[in-house]
Structure 1
Amino acid sequence: MQKFWIPLVLWPLILLLGGPNTLAQGGPEYVGSQTCQSCHDGAYDAWSGSHHAQAWMEPSETTVSGDFNDAVFEHQGRKTRFFVKDGRYFIETTDVSDGPKVLEVTGVGGIAPLQQYLIETEPGRQQSLDIAWDQEEKRWYHLYPDQKLPSNDAFHWSGPYKNWNARCAECHATGFEKNYQPRERRYQSTQAEIGVGCEACHGPAEAHLKWAQAPQSYASSPFPGTNEAGLLVSFSENAAETEIQQCTGCHSRREPFQDGNPMPGSPYHDNYRLSLLRDGLYHADGQILDEVYVYGSFLQSRMYDKGVRCSDCHEPHSASLKAAGNAICTQCHSEAGNSRFSSLETKSYDDPSHHFHETGSESAQCKSCHMIERTYMGIDGRRDHSFRVPRPDLSVSLGTPNACSDCHADKTASWAAAVLEEKFPQSPHRRPHFAEVFSAARKAPDGFEDDLLEIALHAEFPGIVRASAIDLLRARATPGVLAKLEPLIANENTIVREAAVSLQSQRPADERFAAVADALNDPVQSVRIAAARQIIGAPPIGVDESTQRSAQTANREWQAALIAKLDFPETHTVIGGTALALRNPQAAVRAFQEATNLDAQLIDGWVMQIRIHMALRDFAAAQFTLQKALVANPTDPVLLDFKRQFTQQ
């Protein structure tokens, strides 16, 4: 037993001191996309002009689209000038501390509808400028036009939340490793290739190259996990999930577990924790709200449930749609149908009898009604991939958006609901919706347990909806609720299992270990890490040695996931909370200090430091911490309240 507990007490300190940033992985080497061209020239040509290939580029005459001809952009009284000198690209701006400063452009992010520019603010640290180039209007614009942040704000373009190494590069590069050095707060990032190259999806091709050079004499790859052609990923007609999970590693809102790109072909849930349908990210009915990308929406759809995959609509190398207009949808939604989806009703969908708009008009486009578009980054339109039927009736009762009102802004949602009822009087799509429960449960701290339980236990709901219902039950997790949901820890759906395990945090400490013991051996890492989080501070009462060993392994996985994110302020708040659960206040203070070092506006981090100092009766340290917090946040009401308390003592 002693052997088990010592590492648990010490590991928050180990994390704060820093440790290995990546798990050693022996595998084939990357060879570069150029190497693929000689055998795969068609795929290479399609890829080379794609958004993937241009996701990250070196600055040059052919890659920089913005006006660097001494163009000046003003925002909130701050001036930024863009110019070229000796073939190199520079930005002179007053939007920095001790400005103005001249900073060199070190990278180009993206191609359309906007292009961003990267600046190395210190060796190895790449930051993404908030002023971007609008490719359609040919103008400079600010991504956050209403903001005027001080340069020491964590959300300033030079702050941790706009850091390219931590927040962007993984999905804009191939074979990326962040390599953050926590002691120095420096990056030593590397990548096999900037841009999303061939090997970002197919995996490093060293063994495949040897196979291609001599396929007859190639016996087998020396690397475990590779297929008969020496590749780590096997895309096939019978492996839709392999393809989907490869794409959604980047096309999802999620928390990463790795230091950079996971090895292509490894399962999504071994590398990420998917964001659920939470308030602020999604509307109550699951429609996109914040920038959540695609996966969380797609998982809600009937298309996903029936086996539709990304490449059914998107050509994988050019990343463009496989057909224009409604033809992309009538591949299946037509009188001819599609033999792969026998349950789909065969009828004429691209017809006024279905869409009741003028044929060929924008309103008659399938996407206009079934894939609402929301704009992010000022001009970047992204479409909801849940492929839902418009529900203006829910807009009337809940205030959720609907596609009809997107176009008919001069009409009410009640009008739209009446039109749909007239056009489709027998529609099954007006039945009760989980949105009605989610909307009410988000607003009320109590009640709705039975309704949420019904959703969580209903096997016909998508996994992400069931998991989100479980998540909403956290504040309502009575012993009865916990007992009814405990069987879901063994559910076949990974997202449901993870949510059910996380719910066990509401159990008394002496019950948690036994409740999640089986999950410590779950085949999926996201579930094992969720279980590891629950056993912190929970005594292993009645637990055998085998389970204790499983707990140690799961804890190491969680440690590695946290180490990979030591440049995230939010990681240190987790470490601080863990240290408190282990009754290690000194480690907790150090963790919350690092959180506020990285993000001085993280009020909760300051508050926790002050409270711990006060609990330890170190009032001088508490007052000193409060003074530092007020320097960074002079008007914050919580900190001012602490100041009043100290003044009155």
Structure 2
Amino acid sequence: MEWPLFILLLAGAFALVVLVGKRFPRWAKRGLALALLATIAAALAWNADTHRRTRASAEFAKSVPREGRPGGYVSSDKCQACHPGEYASWHRSFHRTMTQYASPVSIQANFDSVELELHGESYRLQRRGDEFWVELPDPDWGREVRNPLTASAATKPPPVWKRLGLLTGSHHMQVFWVPGRHGNTQHVFPFVWLLADRRWAPLHDTFLRDPKLPPTLHVWNLNCLRCHSTGPQPRPEPGAGNFDTRTGELGIACEACHGPAEDHVRVNQNPLHRVMLRLGAKAESTIINPARLTAARSSQVCGQCHGIKWIRNQPAFLRDGFSFRPGLDLDQSTPIIRPSRLEQQPWLHGPLKAQANFLAEHYWSDGEVRVSGREFNGLVDSACHEKGGLGCVTCHSMHNSDPDDQLARDMDGNLACLQCHAQYRDKLTEHSHHAAGSTGSLCYNCHMPHTVYGLMKSIRTHKIASPTVQSSLQTGRPNACNLCHLDQTLAWTATYLHEWYRQALPQLTDEHQSTAASVLWALKGDAGQRALIAWHMGWEPAKLASGDAWLAPYLAQLLADPYSTVRYISHRSLRRLPDFTEFPYDFVAAEADREQARLRALNLWTAQERTARRGNQLLIAPDGTLRRETFERLLSQRDDHSMDLQE
């Protein structure tokens, strides 16, 4: 409508000049003519810009997975009018921002003419108005160069400019995606923005992955959409390798937990129906409220994303998406992979033989999950769930919680456990053998320790169990006692667990009797164990229980670790020690620079006051110096088997 109005105004202005032209001097008529020409030029420029923006918007919409699909999905916008409070609490959650279109509102990263480099390739980042652009090696080249019809003489991908399509994450880091040339395929951009550090980092360096392994070429449409969007349908184009992906909604929205809402919206437009519901004369049957389901079924609503699933019908999933809907039995369509019960899942035996590393990439050797985002796997293997009826919403709330962890009110302490285990309310010290109110008497710390890895940190396991030394010996998984008492041996822990809880005393080597468990895990452990220990060396409860004057040599050593995420975590923990708060270090710097940082940290510790250091089990001599010979001997035994934890 604006363009015809401009034409009308211009015509009126021209008529005015013609009608009254004789009354004005020549200079005035020239001025009016120039004004008219300027107005016409501005109108033409405005029209061209409008067309450009319209065309750009249409091209962008074509290049990204679209919201809206069949199956009764209507989007969260339809929920807001009747449920404003729930909509508001969801809107400020990290579930909502799990996947977003790239825009000034969603992007927190620096795009102000940034230049990055990776493996000899240059990357340029720009913001152009409300659009975000990157120059990178052509992500489509790898596929097209193998096609004889499109192959070129080029030996490496040429640089191309791409407008960002999607981004995932808004809590710890943001990962960015660029559209391919065909369909709405989304290729990963090989750098991520670390929110706490406010810096760019190579994507592959933010995962606990063997640096010798080749980079993984992620495509959002095939994997990430499963848990980062609502009602996704991948829809690959047969034989083309492209996608025509659509979703109910990007991010985790209302219908992910409550089911498709088309019927619910339709019937509740009738005022009489709403009145009958309020009076209790009718039961609501058009929508699912997980809080009203059994613990098993309501937890499966969370488990559809927070679990490691087996997709029974892969072609149907690729075409139509998951068939599971809230309220149904998740096991019927996408059962949870439970290594501790593989005899009950015979369909997995063949695939697990074909993917020999699958279990090691996700689980400890006893089947307990060890990677983040898979809390449902831990829950279903817990007696509290199987026998006690514990479910996700027993402790968590989607609409009455802090977005950081979504724990319900008062569920961040012992009340979470005392709501079932009331017998310990007045016997907490007697049961825990730690002072009431201390971190040692916090149920979570003993029964849900931080033994899960992900997002460059340790996370609480959701397999609720009691600590044992035997499980640490059998699986390598650190136990809760030694994750807090970093300065103690496995023998020390075994003695107290025997005295307090009558656990059998396990057979221990001389090393387990003489050297702190954390020292052994930090120097001899695998990359996953080293990451967990590095995190706990920066955990305040552990430092209070164990002292921190002896930690620096171990964290210094881990600054030179071959795994980038171990290095990152170690530096973060090191900076939480006195005299190291401003210690400069780049976890993705060249190997020589990392080695220099290790020596600087060690020398700084050596020059510190030694009286607070203690313990042969910590490899600290009576004079406060490091027993370097033993330190180096243990380090030479480090478990360097290749790891790739699939968080």
Q: Helix, strand or coil: the match of 1:273?
A: coil
CA deviations 1:315-351 (Å, max 9, x no partner) are: 1236643357x843533534xxx3xx4x763334765
Distance 1:147 1:210, change over 3 A: closer
| Aligned counterpart, 1:388 | 465
Q: Is the Cα–Cα contact under 8 Å of residues 124 and 135 in structure 2 kept in the other structure?
A: yes
| Aligned counterpart, 2:38 | none
Per the normalisation by structure 1, the TM-score is 0.53
| Aligned counterpart, 2:406 | 321
Distance 1:43 1:169, change over 3 A: same
The one-letter code of the counterpart of 2:113 is: D
**Partners of 2:116 and 2:460 in 1: how far apart?**
30
The one-letter code of the counterpart of 2:288 is: V
**Partners of 2:329 and 2:501 in 1: how far apart?**
44
| Aligned counterpart, 1:213 | 269
- Pairing partner for 1:114 from 145, 164, 173: 173
| Aligned counterpart, 1:264 | 325
Task: Give the drift of 1:84.
Answer: 0.9
Q: Is the Cα–Cα contact under 8 Å of residues 72 and 80 in structure 1 kept in the other structure?
A: yes
**Partners of 1:87 and 1:75 in 2: how far apart?**
26
Distance 1:412 1:279, change over 3 A: same
**Partners of 1:71 and 1:375 in 2: how far apart?**
34
**1:98 partnered with 2:139:** no
Task: Give the drift of 1:60.
Answer: 1.5
| Aligned counterpart, 1:190 | 246
Q: Is the Cα–Cα contact under 8 Å of residues 396 and 407 in structure 2 kept in the other structure?
A: yes
**Partners of 2:167 and 2:338 in 1: how far apart?**
32
The one-letter code of the counterpart of 2:336 is: L
- Pairing partner for 2:125 from 82, 94, 103: 82
Distance 1:372 1:330, change over 3 A: closer
Unaligned 5+ runs, structure 1: 1-25, 221-226, 433-649
Q: Is the Cα–Cα contact under 8 Å of residues 240 and 309 in structure 1 kept in the other structure?
A: yes
Q: Helix, strand or coil: the match of 1:216?
A: helix
**Partners of 1:52 and 1:292 in 2: how far apart?**
12
Q: Is the Cα–Cα contact under 8 Å of residues 211 and 229 in structure 1 kept in the other structure?
A: no
Q: Helix, strand or coil: the match of 1:34?
A: helix
Distance 1:188 1:95, change over 3 A: closer
- Pairing partner for 2:115 from 72, 85, 100: 72
- The correspondence of residues 517-528 of structure 1 with structure 2, limited to 5 A, is none
Task: Give the drift of 1:301.
Answer: 0.8
| Aligned counterpart, 1:170 | 226
**Partners of 2:265 and 2:333 in 1: how far apart?**
27
Distance 1:355 1:279, change over 3 A: farther
**Partners of 2:451 and 2:72 in 1: how far apart?**
40
Q: Helix, strand or coil: the match of 1:145?
A: helix
Task: Give the drift of 1:272.
Answer: 1.0
**Partners of 1:163 and 1:130 in 2: how far apart?**
12
- The correspondence of residues 111-190 of structure 1 with structure 2, limited to 5 A, is 111-123=170-182, 124-145=184-205, 156-157=215-216, 159=217, 162-190=218-246
Task: Give the drift of 1:109.
Answer: 0.5
Distance 1:218 1:107, change over 3 A: same
| Aligned counterpart, 2:75 | 32
**Partners of 2:470 and 2:442 in 1: how far apart?**
22
**Partners of 1:148 and 1:34 in 2: how far apart?**
38
Task: Give the drift of 1:247.
Answer: 1.1
**Partners of 1:398 and 1:201 in 2: how far apart?**
35
**Partners of 1:358 and 1:143 in 2: how far apart?**
43
Distance 1:52 1:236, change over 3 A: closer
Distance 1:349 1:79, change over 3 A: farther
Q: Is the Cα–Cα contact under 8 Å of residues 396 and 411 in structure 2 kept in the other structure?
A: no
**Partners of 2:383 and 2:78 in 1: how far apart?**
39
Q: Is the Cα–Cα contact under 8 Å of residues 372 and 384 in structure 1 kept in the other structure?
A: yes
Distance 1:105 1:373, change over 3 A: farther
Q: Is the Cα–Cα contact under 8 Å of residues 105 and 118 in structure 1 kept in the other structure?
A: yes
Q: Is the Cα–Cα contact under 8 Å of residues 338 and 367 in structure 2 kept in the other structure?
A: no
Distance 1:407 1:141, change over 3 A: farther
CA deviations 1:591-614 (Å, max 9, x no partner) are: xxxxxxxxxxxxxxxxxxxxxxxx
Task: Give the drift of 1:184.
Answer: 1.3
**1:354 partnered with 2:432:** yes
Q: Is the Cα–Cα contact under 8 Å of residues 143 and 378 in structure 1 kept in the other structure?
A: no
**Partners of 1:304 and 1:366 in 2: how far apart?**
16
Q: Helix, strand or coil: the match of 1:269?
A: helix
- Count of residue correspondences: 385
Distance 1:174 1:323, change over 3 A: closer
Task: Give the drift of 1:111.
Answer: 1.0
Task: Give the drift of 1:203.
Answer: 1.4
**1:46 partnered with 2:89:** yes
CA deviations 1:476-510 (Å, max 9, x no partner) are: xxxxxxxxxxxxxxxxxxxxxxxxxxxxxxxxxxx
**Partners of 1:282 and 1:193 in 2: how far apart?**
31
| Aligned counterpart, 1:274 | 336
- Supply the RMSD in Å over aligned alpha carbons: 3.6
Distance 1:332 1:230, change over 3 A: closer
| Aligned counterpart, 1:610 | none
Of the structure 1 ranges 125-134 and 402-411, higher mean CA displacement relative to structure 2 is found in 402-411
| Aligned counterpart, 2:493 | 416
Task: Give the drift of 1:148.
Answer: 14
Of structures 1 and 2, the larger Rg is shown by 2
Per the normalisation by structure 2, the TM-score is 0.53
